[in-house]
Structure 1
Amino acid sequence: HINNFFTKYGGAENSVWKISNLFKNKGNKIYYFTTDKQPYFIADYEYSKYFPQYKDKRKSGIKDIINIFYNFEAKNNLENYLKEIQPDLIITHNILFHLTPAVFDACKKFNIPIIMYIQDPRLFCPGGLLAFSDKYCYEEPCIKGNPIFCIKNKCKLSSLKASIVASLNFIFVRNQNLFNKCDAIICLSGVLKNLAVRAGVPSEKIKVINHFIEEEKLLIKPVYNNKNYFLYAGRLDREKGVHFLIEAMKNVSSDIQLHIAGDGDEKENLVRQKECLNLNNIKFLGYLNRQALEEEYKNCIATVLPCNWFEAFGLTNIESFLYGKPVIASNIAAIPEIVDDGINGILVPPANINALSAAIEKLYYNSDLVIKMGRNGRNKVENLYTANVYWDKFSKEILSFLK
């Protein structure tokens, strides 16, 4: 498995770890290639001597700029690594800006089959989010390879410099023909596959395989009572839309509580927003360990995902279902593939404060509906999002495809 990081950096990294452990449980020998950003999932990892140096791209100088486009150290190290371990299959995940497309050239040198995992829209949007200035980018002007819109609107971090660098990298990556260098492509959702096809990726190469819940987590019993609060769990970044949720809380009864679990660059702004609105019914819990987060899930009324970007799957939605909790979420990107409006949750137009407030109040004052939706969500997890379902699809769609 090739990914920029081998640490609990974000959702993609935790997904790589989960997927690789499933492969291991099925009797496969697993290897990892990543940058040397620590702490690793496996301390003192045996092959970490091959990991290229991690560099914070936000602090990169002119001399380091080339490594954002093409990391020669990663290519050379991976070639030496592959000579030693001689794997039968390579799966790439997030490689932009750190490992870079250089890793594909190293893999092709050994004629090893390559599966490309696409977990977000970054290969089709230089800004990375398919959103800018708190607005979803419905027009998708850059997906064919021309990123001038990104520069014009400063889509990357609202910065002209960052947007120019991201746009140049976008052009370079698209010219590397990565989709032709891999043997098959996995997308997390149907909507992500459709985006890839619109961007010119050959449809026949793409297989849709959803995320899954680990077998041991399915032993968790759903909890259909609650302690009268709603829960947001995830990164506190602008695109996640938590500022919309806080704005919505001013329209509901002060008896309705909101717990916000997670951390991120937007946290200070969100705390300030809460204080400016004089809202005493919102608690910021910070980063929670697994046990504490489980308790938050078990005791909430429902979870809320108010994002306004291209959510390629939304793992927190099926985690909510796992605990028997419905979901209130934006009707955007892949979310409607998971959350069935009126069945296991409520879908609202993205960035619509009034609709978000109404959905919160609807569930707060209708406990029977909450229980019904929670049961439906749990049933969906057990039928569609298990490790066995994932492995069956991978075996059928990928392993048989490569034979």
Structure 2
Amino acid sequence: MKVLVVHNRYRSEQPSGENNVVDQEVALLSAAGHEVRSFERRSDDISSMSLLEKATVPLRVPWNPASRVALAEVLRSDRPDVVHIHNTFPLLSPSVVAACTDARVPAVATLHNYGMVCPPGTLYRDGHLCGECVGRRPFPAVRHGCYRDSRVATLPMAVNVAVNRRRWWSGISRFLCISDAQRQVLIGGGMPAERMVVKHNFVAEPLVRRTLPGEHVLYLGRLTEEKGVRLLMSAWERLDVGMPLLLAGTGPMQDEVERWASTRPDVRYVGLADKARCQELIARAAAVVAPSVWLEAFGLVVVEAMAADVPAVAPAHGAFPELIEDGVSGVLHKPEDAASLADALRQVVAPARNHEMGEAARLRYEKGFTPAIGLDRLVDAYEAAIG
């Protein structure tokens, strides 16, 4: 097949799971013999724009005619069999969907978050879950300033959702949801159920897997409130599991995490790690903890742990119950409950269960999240769209 991948890349200074997923899928398709070309814009380019160009970026979030023209040219010259759209914010816009419709090229779209029914895509604001915009016009988000705590910054995103909703729903042949939990939320917001399929993200075989008993409990991810970092800190205060907690990553809470870690001999903040270092930290862990208080649409770090024979602890909401079989391949805890999280961590590191859970986690990975399975599901979606 000839596949054109459309993606607005996130800033390089901030690690992006979406960028990684796109790159891995492109490599997977190419290795399987498909002809893949990318049509991209990069958020990094905004910094080199003139002041006038920067000022007009928000105006082009809902509709960028230049993107439509540029993509139309590529579609005319390349004639791909299918277009795969990922992120269009902020430089591409949904005008790329119109370009596909004009050229009569079938398009699929991976939904990496809840952006179709929630302007910032998180269903989370002011420290709690929020569904005010689901199934209705998204202007409560503007009132609350949900994106970057700014009404001005949120406005173009809300307009984008409001004016382009029907265009997405009519112009995309298949929506690829990264979990069934996400799919159910989006259907509840009015999206067309018959064109929404679940295609979990896949994880490549890790360079190193766990062979010895774990040395630490690992948190690997963005240091933000919605990721449950503050909840984890509270839970760890209740624990003495005989091994340290390692926190790897960066984000708005970095200074707070560093101060907390400096006061405890059983906590280490290791900063931002590259891919090889991350895999090493996972392979040496007794467990990976992902205590998100918002509804994660997938949970990539949990599957990365599974691939390395490491069980995970996560809340019993969002996508996590699809990934973790509670008490078998990991432990689920009550969302936003520090005591429940502490109890789950005690269970998962107990020597009598830890190795057994790790083996079950690896088996779960092999049955559901390998590159071969990811390729099959991707090609199935393309063929359905073309058909």
Aligned AA for 2:214?
N
Aligned AA for 2:361?
G
Q: Deviations over 1:316-361 (max 9, x none)?
A: 1111011111111111111110011111111112221111122222
Task: Call closer, same or farther: CA 1:401–1:154 in 2, change over 3 Å.
Answer: closer
Residues 1:240 and 2:197 aligned together: no
What secondary structure, in the 3-state scheme, does the structure 1 residue paired with 2:234 have? helix
CA distance in 2, matches of 1:377, 1:353: 24
What secondary structure, in the 3-state scheme, does the structure 2 residue paired with 1:320 have? helix
Structure 1 residue 153 displacement after superposition: 3.5
Matches within 5 A, 1:59-138: 62-137=55-130
Runs of 4+ displaced beyond 6 Å: none
Residues 1:162 and 2:146 aligned together: no
What secondary structure, in the 3-state scheme, does the structure 2 residue paired with 1:4 have? strand
Q: Contact 2:232–2:338 at 8 Å: present in 1 too?
A: yes
Q: Contact 2:261–2:269 at 8 Å: present in 1 too?
A: no
CA distance in 2, matches of 1:152, 1:18: 38
Task: Call closer, same or farther: CA 1:396–1:168 in 2, change over 3 Å.
Answer: closer
Q: Deviations over 1:188-239 (max 9, x none)?
A: 111111112111111111111111122xx16744435122x10011222332
Q: Which residue of 2 aligns with 1:371?
A: 355
Q: Contact 1:120–1:310 at 8 Å: present in 2 too?
A: no
Residues 1:394 and 2:378 aligned together: yes
What secondary structure, in the 3-state scheme, does the structure 1 residue paired with 2:364 have? helix
The structure with the greater share of residues assigned to strand is: 2
Point out the more displaced range, 245-254 or 103-112: 245-254
Q: Which residue of 1 aligns with 2:9?
A: 5
Structure 1 residue 254 displacement after superposition: 8.0
Matches within 5 A, 1:145-294: 145-174=136-165, 176-214=166-204, 217=205, 220-227=208-215, 229-253=216-240, 255-274=242-261, 278-294=263-279
Point out the more displaced range, 328-337 or 240-249: 240-249
Aligned AA for 1:161?
V
Q: Deviations over 1:52-84 (max 9, x none)?
A: x54699x98654331222122222222222233
Q: Deviations over 1:164-184 (max 9, x none)?
A: 44323322332x521210111
Task: Call closer, same or farther: CA 1:155–1:37 in 2, change over 3 Å.
Answer: closer
CA distance in 2, matches of 1:221, 1:134: 36
Q: Contact 1:7–1:13 at 8 Å: present in 2 too?
A: no
Task: Call closer, same or farther: CA 1:55–1:33 in 2, change over 3 Å.
Answer: farther
- Percent of paired sites with the same residue: 23
Q: Contact 1:145–1:170 at 8 Å: present in 2 too?
A: no
Q: Please point out which of 301, 313, 322 is paired with 2:298.
A: 313
Task: Call closer, same or farther: CA 1:402–1:82 in 2, change over 3 Å.
Answer: closer
Aligned AA for 2:135?
K
CA distance in 1, matches of 2:202, 2:79: 29
Point out the more displaced range, 260-269 or 113-122: 260-269
Q: Contact 1:224–1:325 at 8 Å: present in 2 too?
A: no
Q: Deviations over 1:75-115 (max 9, x none)?
A: 22222222332212100001132211111122222111101
Structure 1 residue 401 displacement after superposition: 5.1
Task: Call closer, same or farther: CA 1:54–1:160 in 2, change over 3 Å.
Answer: closer
What secondary structure, in the 3-state scheme, does the structure 2 residue paired with 1:24 have? helix
Task: Call closer, same or farther: CA 1:55–1:83 in 2, change over 3 Å.
Answer: farther
Q: Contact 2:108–2:173 at 8 Å: present in 1 too?
A: yes
Residues 1:26 and 2:32 aligned together: yes
What is the CA RMSD across the aligned residues, in angstroms?
Answer: 2.4
Unaligned runs of 5+ in 2: none
What secondary structure, in the 3-state scheme, does the structure 1 residue paired with 2:378 have? helix
Task: Call closer, same or farther: CA 1:219–1:300 in 2, change over 3 Å.
Answer: closer
Structure 1 residue 281 displacement after superposition: 2.1
What secondary structure, in the 3-state scheme, does the structure 2 residue paired with 1:142 have? coil
CA distance in 2, matches of 1:367, 1:153: 47
What secondary structure, in the 3-state scheme, does the structure 2 residue paired with 1:109 have? helix
CA distance in 1, matches of 2:38, 2:381: 23
Aligned AA for 1:23?
L
What secondary structure, in the 3-state scheme, does the structure 1 residue paired with 2:39 have? coil
How many correspondences in the alignment?
Answer: 379
Structure 1 residue 250 displacement after superposition: 1.4
Give the alignment's TM-score, normalised by structure 1.
Answer: 0.87
What secondary structure, in the 3-state scheme, does the structure 2 residue paired with 1:123 have? coil
Give the alignment's TM-score, normalised by structure 2.
Answer: 0.90
Task: Call closer, same or farther: CA 1:208–1:107 in 2, change over 3 Å.
Answer: same
